[in-house]
């Protein structure tokens, strides 16, 4: 079954171009058809097209979209749209003054002039990748076709790998080796680096052998420039974990084009350095076992890695080898075939052997070892099988390594909720579990259970049930569970190879059965949590979050857990995982959680020290809180603080947990909430970033005292108060009508029968009254009220007055009085001003009105992610294209209108389109004399 495999670089040609445009989720035109829906049109798989954005933008000729065929885990084929800007791929014309023809993206030479490179294909990489799909499918089943549809929002990522040795092979792409010389350094060290790119963050896990502890890791671009340096902290483990945040878009493009390399250097004693190219490899999606291959020869510079996985149903072991330095250079023009043999060994006894021929330009190798017997599977699970690669000939070279379960810095964890139970319920309980897999197949586990309805009678690790009433139990952990502490901790030393494979493929579950729910009250999927730079998940048990811990308790189907730590700068770092929230509970909630994460004191009356961490959409939230008060730090140290997640259904708290974080911080810190890295690529105006009172929230900066509707929930309104974000539920006006309806997409009900204001009886009764559009009411002359402004609700920080006689509404901002008490409080989250407690309330202190505002003012416009005032105009920014200076948009009372610049009709026959200009020009006589052939090529 020998087959030549793609080398690491070639096996990974792009099918997910950079800067993708998300496809529109529209129904397919016909049931059973496979393809992509984009812009109201249907495309078959493997179709390519230029997107048409409609008037006035037109067809984006420099954007190429592709309907990419993907396979789900069940083998069903579906399409996914990926788009990329192809202007960067335009060949350089071989003429002095190239022209841009209508309907084209790339400039070309006028007819009659040379253009030797025009025929080069722009998508050779894409076609080359597709030619190899069949081979990949044979070795890796449908797991290699894991698509983004199987991931939560924000979890879609690309995987990369690098083999680091003291020798760089010459077979690497020319774009990658322009600054590399093929020389051997004095080291036998080998390192394997695995990378996960999620938005603009690159997480990496690096293991190394036969070399000293590294001191730094450098990322080097194609020009030989170091673009990122990571200082390795001192430790006693050979696993290095790190995150490179806020990658520039140019660096992401180089990473996807396999033009980045990594170097790792030691400083202790003899200086050693290993390096390698970062490449994409789809086998990473299926890899569950791995091996780092080293040489026993000193200073050899040889090394490699093996990526292995088991078949889904049979005991077949698939593997791919990537080697460096194993094959030696020759002086011949044609790369000779080199005979190699791959052996599977146990204690130097050869169990299996495969022979094949490879070349220097295609040195990687893939094979399948079929029908492993029970002994071989047992040795595989214990990390006792060794894989060896050896060249045959006069000077044989050999590298080898032991096969273990795949290692990474990710955290294997599970949140158990009643909503994910085999029979879903709403108990408000929670289960939390973390696991660690050792090289010898031992599985350590720590499990916490809280808030269940009755005594726990079983804690088991299970497979997905084949039938609803038939559970498949693998391991019973009940003997280690203590009903007194609600915890189970221990090690399982008899994990089978098949179960290691399923564990690392996120195919195992943990189930908690209780006396009242014998089949299971809580259940959760065991899955890996991507490393994000927070060390707490790797060393500490999480804080369980349950509805039973909310005050008062909430009977919810959701549960969660969180890691919270305080660093040396007294900044609070957190990561939250939530599970079990069902879309059936609220039609406006999708399969993933809309949530607000908060931290505060257990005493709910002490609202001064309650802080919003972040608003989020999905199953996870993470970030850094830099502005931590002294009081909150003290409560964290005493264990009298809580972390809470609120949702639209339960805005006062869905799940909560008690937090104890020992710290010695004596002074508060100043700053803002640093959102998750997925927002790092968004930049705010410079003046807002420098303003110490501005707030950073959901990827953008907001000025002090500004209000906005958060993207995670349109039924909340947020405001920025001196660096602190305060979000409150929308307050709806009281309606006097008997029949109300709640329009789709709105938060508040309205009267079912809405009459024209001119016909309202109230207006007839008060002809000098005022009609206010916000609450759609007529207010008698002289009355005052807080204005209702959709979508923000009641604005408590403003008061409106109806001026009799003119019907004019006059609104003023509320100026809060100066308070003399030491502990002012805000009695309600929606109140504008704080007040002194009753026992400290001073005399006087009336609210003043100032800063006149216009009622029912003109509405602003939202275009993309920006807001514009009425009558403001701008040039639109289109993803992948940039600013379109030939199109002008303006805000017309809340409606965005755009128009392309009108070009005059030209009467000449020789027309040319010049750079930086929107309209074509006529060629003058001098230009015609200089380029007589250009007339035909530019019409």
List pLDDT tens digits, range 317-351.
999 999 988 887 665 555 678 889 999 999 999 99
- 263 vs 850, which has greater pLDDT? 263
Strand-pairing partners, residue 641, are 601, 659
* Residue 358 to residues 64, 170, 177, 488, Cα–Cα distance (Å): 36, 15, 21, 51
Global confidence as pTM: 0.58
Confidence label for 936 from pLDDT (cuts 50, 70 and 90)? very low
Residue 183 has pLDDT above 50, yes or no: no
Paired tokens of 280: 């994409």
Q: Residues 612, 628: contact at Cβ < 8 Å?
A: no
Kindly report the average pLDDT of the chain as a whole number.
75
Place of tokens 């049979």: 314
Paired tokens of 735: 């309606």
- 100 vs 453, which has greater pLDDT? 453
Region 839-854: mean pLDDT is 45
Q: Residues 377, 498: contact at Cβ < 8 Å?
A: yes
Element (H, E) at 310: strand 303-310
Residue 659 has pLDDT above 80, yes or no: yes
Q: Which long-range contacts does 126-133 make (Cβ < 8 Å, 24+ apart)?
A: 126/13, 126/14, 126/15, 126/66, 128/10, 128/13, 129/12, 129/13, 129/14, 129/15, 130/15, 130/46, 132/6, 132/10, 132/11, 132/13
> For residues 636 and 633, what is the distance between their CA atoms, to the nearest angstrom?
5
Region 694-717: mean pLDDT is 75
Lowest mean pLDDT among 175-184, 249-258, 740-749: 175-184
Q: Which of 578, 560, 642, 651 is nearest to 604 (CA)?
A: 642
Confidence label for 900 from pLDDT (cuts 50, 70 and 90)? confident
**pLDDT score at 726:** 73
> For residues 295 and 398, what is the distance between their CA atoms, to the nearest angstrom?
6
**pLDDT score at 279:** 94
Residue 509 has pLDDT above 90, yes or no: yes
Q: What angle do CA 435, 438, 444 make, to 5 degrees?
A: 35
352, 355, 359, 361 alpha-carbon torsion, rounded to 10°: -30
Q: Residues 127, 237: contact at Cβ < 8 Å?
A: no
Q: Across 364-417, where does the E strand assignment appear?
A: 365-369, 385-391, 398-402, 404-405, 411-416
Q: Residues 290, 163: contact at Cβ < 8 Å?
A: no
Which residues fall within 8 angstroms of residue 47, CB to CB, at 6 or more apart?
Answer: 35, 36, 66, 67
Q: Out of 413-427, 465-479, 576-590, 645-659, give the one with best mean pLDDT.
A: 413-427
Share of the chain above pLDDT 90, in %: 30
């Amino acid at each position: 079954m020998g087959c030549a495999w793609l080398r690491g670089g070639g096996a990974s040609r792009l099918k997910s171009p950079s800067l993708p445009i998300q496809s529109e989720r529209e129904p397919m035109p016909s049931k059973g058809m496979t393809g992509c829906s984009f812009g109201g049109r249907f495309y078959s798989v493997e179709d390519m097209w230029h997107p048409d954005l409609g008037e006035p933008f037109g067809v984006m000729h420099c954007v190429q979209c592709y309907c990419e065929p993907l396979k789900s885990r069940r083998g069903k084929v579906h399409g996914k749209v990926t788009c990329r800007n192809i202007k960067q791929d335009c060949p350089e014309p071989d003429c002095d003054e190239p022209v841009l023809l209508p309907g084209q993206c790339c400039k070309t030479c006028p007819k009659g002039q040379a253009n030797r490179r025009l025929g080069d294909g722009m998508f050779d990489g894409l076609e080359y990748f597709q030619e190899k799909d069949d081979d990949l499918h044979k070795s890796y089943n449908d797991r290699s076709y894991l698509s983004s549809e199987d991931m939560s929002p924000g979890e879609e990522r690309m995987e990369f790998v690098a083999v680091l040795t003291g020798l760089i092979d010459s077979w690497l792409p020319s774009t990658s080796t322009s600054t590399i010389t093929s020389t051997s350094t004095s080291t036998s060290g080998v390192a394997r680096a695995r990378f996960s790119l999620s938005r603009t963050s690159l997480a990496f896990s690096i293991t190394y052998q036969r070399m000293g502890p590294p001191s730094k890791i450098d990322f080097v671009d194609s020009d030989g420039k170091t673009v990122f340096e990571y200082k390795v902290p001192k430790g006693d483990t050979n696993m290095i974990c790190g995150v490179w945040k806020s990658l520039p878009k140019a660096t992401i493009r180089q990473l996807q084009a396999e033009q980045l390399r990594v170097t790792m250097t030691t400083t202790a004693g003899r200086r050693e350095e290993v390096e390698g190219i970062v490449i994409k490899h789809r086998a990473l999606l299926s890899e569950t076992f791995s091996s780092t291959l080293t040489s026993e020869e000193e200073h050899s510079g040889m090394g490699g890695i093996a990526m292995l996985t088991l078949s889904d149903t049979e005991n077949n072991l698939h593997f791919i080898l990537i080697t460096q330095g194993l094959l030696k250079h020759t002086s011949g023009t044609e790369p000779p075939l080199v005979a190699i043999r791959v052996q599977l060994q146990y204690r130097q006894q050869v169990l299996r052997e495969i022979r094949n021929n490879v070349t220097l330009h295609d040195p990687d190798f893939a094979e399948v070892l079929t029908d492993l017997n029970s002994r071989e599977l047992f040795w595989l699970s214990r990390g006792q099988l060794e894989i060896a690669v050896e060249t045959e000939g006069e000077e044989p070279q050999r590298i080898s390594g032991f096969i273990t379960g795949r290692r990474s810095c990710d955290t294997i964890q599970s949140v158990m909720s009643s909503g994910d139970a085999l029979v879903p319920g709403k108990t408000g309980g929670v289960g939390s579990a973390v696991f660690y897999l050792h090289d010898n197949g031992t599985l350590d586990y720590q499990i916490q259970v809280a808030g269940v309805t009755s005594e726990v009678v079983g804690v088991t690790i299970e497979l997905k049930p084949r039938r609803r009433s038939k559970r498949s139990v693998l391991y019973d952990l009940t003997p280690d569970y203590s009903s007194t502490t609600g915890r189970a901790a221990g090690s399982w030393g008899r994990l089978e190879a098949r179960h290691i494979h399923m564990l690392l493929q996120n195919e195992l579950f943990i189930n908690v059965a209780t006396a009242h729910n014998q089949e299971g009250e809580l259940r959760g999927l065991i899955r890996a949590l991507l490393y994000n730079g927070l060390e707490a998940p790797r060393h500490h048990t999480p804080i369980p979050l349950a509805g039973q811990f909310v005050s008062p308790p909430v009977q919810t189907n959701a549960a969660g857990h969180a890691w919270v730590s305080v660093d040396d700068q007294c900044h609070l770092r957190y990561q939250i995982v939530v599970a079990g929230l069902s879309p059936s509970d609220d039609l406006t909630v999708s399969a993933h959680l809309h949530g607000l994460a908060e931290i505060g004191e257990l005493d709910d009356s002490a609202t001064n020290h309650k802080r919003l961490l972040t608003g989020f959409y999905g199953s996870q939230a993470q970030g850094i809180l830099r502005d931590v008060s002294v009081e909150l730090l003290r409560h964290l140290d005493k264990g009298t603080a809580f972390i809470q997640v609120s949702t639209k259904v339960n805005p006062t708290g869905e799940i909560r947990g008690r937090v104890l974080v020992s710290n010695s911080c004596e002074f508060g810190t100043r700053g803002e909430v640093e959102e998750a890295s997925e927002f790092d690529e968004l930049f705010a105006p410079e003046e807002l970033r420098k303003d110490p009172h501005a707030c950073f929230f959901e990827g953008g900066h907001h000025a002090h005292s500004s209000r906005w509707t958060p993207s995670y929930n349109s039924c909340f309104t947020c405001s920025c108060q001196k660096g602190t974000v305060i979000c409150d539920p929308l307050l709806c006006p009281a309606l006097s009508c008997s029949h109300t309806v709640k329009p789709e997409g709105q938060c508040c009900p309205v009267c079912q029968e809405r009459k024209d204001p001119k016909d309202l009886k109230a207006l007839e009764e008060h002809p000098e009254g005022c009609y206010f559009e916000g609450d759609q009411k007529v207010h008698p002359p002289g009355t005052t009220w807080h204005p209702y402004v959709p979508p923000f609700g009641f604005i408590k920080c403003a008061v409106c007055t109806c001026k009799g006689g003119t019907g004019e509404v006059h609104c003023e901002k509320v100026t809060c009085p100066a308070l003399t008490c030491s502990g002012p409080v805000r009695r309600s989250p929606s109140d504008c001003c704080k007040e002194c407690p009753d026992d400290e309330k001073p005399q006087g202190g009336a609210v003043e009105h100032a800063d006149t505002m216009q009622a029912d003012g003109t509405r602003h416009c939202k275009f993309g992610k920006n807001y514009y005032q009425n009558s403001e105009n701008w040039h639109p920014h289109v993803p992948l294209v940039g600013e379109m200076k030939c199109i002008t948009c303006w805000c017309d009372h809340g409606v965005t209108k755009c128009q392309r610049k009108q070009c005059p009709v030209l009467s000449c026959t020789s027309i040319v389109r010049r750079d930086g200009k929107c309209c074509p020009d006529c060629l003058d006589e001098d230009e015609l004399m200089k380029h007589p052939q250009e007339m035909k090529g530019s019409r």
